[in-house]
Chains A and B, each alone.
Chain A
Amino acid sequence: MIRRTLAVALKEFVQLRRDWRTALALLGMPMVLLLIYGVALSFDVRHVRLAVVDLDGSRAAREVEQAFVHSGFFDLVQRGTDSRAIDPLLDSGRAQAALVVPAGYAGALAAGRAGHLQLVLDGSDSQMATTVLAYARQIVATVAPNGEHTAAAPPAQPLVWYNPDLASARFLLPGLVAFILMVTTVIATALAVVREKERGSWESLRATPLGALELLVGKTLPYLVLAAAAAGGALTLAWALFGVPLRGSLPWLAVVTLLFLLGGLGWGVLISTLADSQQVAFQVALFSTMLPTLLLSGFIFPISSMPAAVQAITHLVPARYYLVALRGIVLKGTGPAAWGLEMLALGVFAVAVLGIAAARTVRTL
């Protein structure tokens, strides 16, 4: 049993070594994609073009302005004393945000009342506007309480754990790793089996006493090793280049990742039992992994804000569980107590798809 499985795996390894382009793509693609997306895919907003209209002309007003500029998020593009200048600036896009310090700001503070500031934002990019607003609140909150004139109660002070500077890379990169691994392993395994079908060798393999399980495990083993190496590489890259930490246990990370990969391999094999050509297999593999993993896993869009029906569907997306566990281990340093259910779900998914794939392989006999 084991000897025959290894014979299949060895044959697959030798073929992969000869077809080094595929092997290299499998191994390198996740890291290259991570590099590209890691740089490009960011919700962080920097260098927001800011215009300042100071109608007060006080020292307090200049302090607020300085706080914005020194925060590092804003670039001052224009300052003036006429609020009518704002419209053309925002319309033309030369400024994305305008800070207005109304006349009497310093006076209000001096009198012990709350000083009001106005921030005008270009809301056509709502994502950016929301982020900028959050930054502005933080900046104002840091300026006002320390301001010598303030008497107003400080606003609620947010305290962000795990990712204090709310860098989106830390949130997105684990998702990206899951996404890339899922897509590449499913495609690779689906193609590996369908290739044998296309060449007619599947028929000859089925004519041997090799069992369905020996065949499937043997064929996917080399891909599992490659995918695991690629996963290690991608996570290392995320750590080294993008500052994604590893706060939890490495062995647990390996276990969860392996379960996730097994599910992906099973899915790939399942597709290969349905598809007869590499082209069909490729398309099914791509569409069944890319969109669900991108949209329905919590990678970018929070599952809790989806409609109930869509939320139900997300339970079938393995990346959903992997992401919870991965973010937990990497960002929070939590143990299986926090994501035990998710790990179980990954295990169930892997066993289910591999089981169905094996049953189908036996039945297509």
Chain B
Amino acid sequence: MSAAPAVEAHGLTRTFGDFRAVDQVSFSVPPGEVFGFLGSNGAGKTTTIRMLCGLLVPTSGSARVAGFDVATQAHEVKRRVGYMSQRFSLYADLTVEENLRFWGAAYGVDGARATARRAWALDMAGLTARRRTLVRELPGGLRQRLALGAALLHEPSIVFLDEPTAGVDPTARRRFWDLIDQLSTAGTTVFVTTHYLDEAERCHRVALMHAGRLLAVDTPAGLKASFAAGLVLEVRPHRWAAALMDAVARTPGVADVALLGHGLHVVLHTPEAAASVREVLARSGEQAAELRHVSPTLEDAFLRAIATARSSGPTLGGPR
């Protein structure tokens, strides 16, 4: 039997007055997947998550989470999902253990199971020895691990993490993502928003969101291939001149130029524009400049996806 999707959205839409925060979003997430939501601030990621957690009623469209409708069966949904919100991670004026005790009870975990789950969460966060410490005294990384533990006390089949690693140092972020991998291996579906590209690379699949719309859903490699294949160049000039960067940026067919170490990172609109770039280099006395295609980053793919949507898709961006 092929498992039913853990999360499934059909034309999910939410408006606030005239503003379409989330616009006709549809996707499906199989159980056990690490599903990333990538997008700039205000792209609608948090609004989507809030609808999926049963915190916000969709204006139109529908979504099922763990098999329950988020609009009409919010209570059932809440019992089966864990949610780690962007702004809040635990009560700073309670100890580690008091927090776990409270959130466990809030999720309806009690008795021997509550004790066992608390021990599990303490162990997972590496805080067993510091369980009587006030949360405000913990460093950010540990706090986030504990918050994840708290969101998992009731053993949800799906966990929604809204920018869980914002403001956490790189080492702690990596360790946090190790936990996410473990969860996924154990069968938990992880739905995570981020704007760190290295984190998005660790997702099984990534949804690109912009101005309330879902631009694409694919594996990181798939996104790079479909949006930015052959479009990214690295130019290594022999002499350095600021004017060169401007000249390349003004070349028709060039979408974006960025400084990268000793060279330029050039993103093209079309693969053919590579020839134009070479011409510009030649005219600037840089015939010998090294120019090669490089594999695109997820960021390149993301920017290209936005640009493509802008030029071809229906009106994007801006409130309607």
Contact = CB atoms under 8 A, between A and B. Distances in A.
Contacts of B54: 207, 365
Contacts of B152: none
A7 B106 contact: yes
Most buried by A among B75, B79, B107: B107
A11 B107 contact: no
Interface stretch (B97-105, B196-204, B242-250, B255-263): B97-105
A45 interface: no
Most buried by A among B57, B78, B106: B106
Most buried by A among B54, B79, B88, B94: B88
A11 B98 contact: yes
B113 to A, nearest CB: 13
Contact of B106 (A8, A15, A199, A200): A8
B60 to A, nearest CB: 18
Given A7-B102, A10-B102, A18-B93, 20 more contacts: A3-B105, A4-B105, A11-B94, A11-B98, A14-B94, A15-B93, A199-B87, A199-B88, A200-B85, A204-B85, A204-B88, A206-B55, A207-B53, A207-B54, A207-B55, A207-B78, A209-B79, A365-B54, A365-B55, A365-B74
Interface in B56-99: 56-57, 74-75, 78-79, 81, 83, 85-88, 91, 93-94, 98
A199 B91 CA distance: 9
Interface of B: 50, 53-57, 74-75, 78-79, 81, 83, 85-88, 91, 93-94, 98, 101-103, 105-108, 110
Nearest to B110: A3
A209 B106 CA distance: 7
Contacts of A199: 87-88
* Interface size, A (range): 20 to 34
Most buried by B among A19, A201, A208: A208
Given A203-B85, A206-B55, A209-B79, A15 B108 contact: no
Given A4-B106, A203-B55, A209 B75 contact: yes
Contacts of B107: 208-209
A4 B103 CA distance: 10
A18 B94 CA distance: 8
A358 to B, nearest CB: 15
A205 B106 contact: yes
Contacts of B101: 7
